[in-house]
């Protein structure tokens, strides 16, 4: 129906992924992080920055 048409959301998302990848490549190249090939474990990641709730953590055990 719209083959070949890149919508504004697709264009914006593609650009954001590209920027993110560039940042990761720079970080790896400057030795800030080691890179790994494939995940060796099943990892579920939850990103709470900007999510439904903000969890503040006080000093652990120093309550």
Question: Residues interacting with other proteins, by CB under 8 A?
Answer: 1-3, 5-10, 12-17, 20-21, 23-24, 27, 33-36, 39-61, 63
Q: What residues have CB less than 8 Å from 55, skipping those under 6 apart?
A: 48
Minimum CB separation from other proteins for residue 30, in Å?
13
- Alpha-carbon distance of 61 to 63, in angstroms, equals 6
Compare residues 21 and 29 and give the one whose CB is closer to other proteins.
21
**16 neighbors 23 (Cβ within 8 angstroms):** no
Minimum CB separation from other proteins for residue 2, in Å?
5
């Amino acid at each position: 129906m719209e083959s070949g048409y890149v919508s504004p959301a697709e264009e914006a998302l593609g650009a954001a992924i590209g920027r993110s990848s560039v940042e990761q490549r720079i970080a790896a190249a400057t030795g800030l992080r080691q890179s790994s090939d494939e995940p060796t474990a099943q990892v579920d990641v939850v990103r709470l920055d900007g999510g439904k709730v903000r969890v503040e953590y006080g000093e652990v055990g120093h309550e």
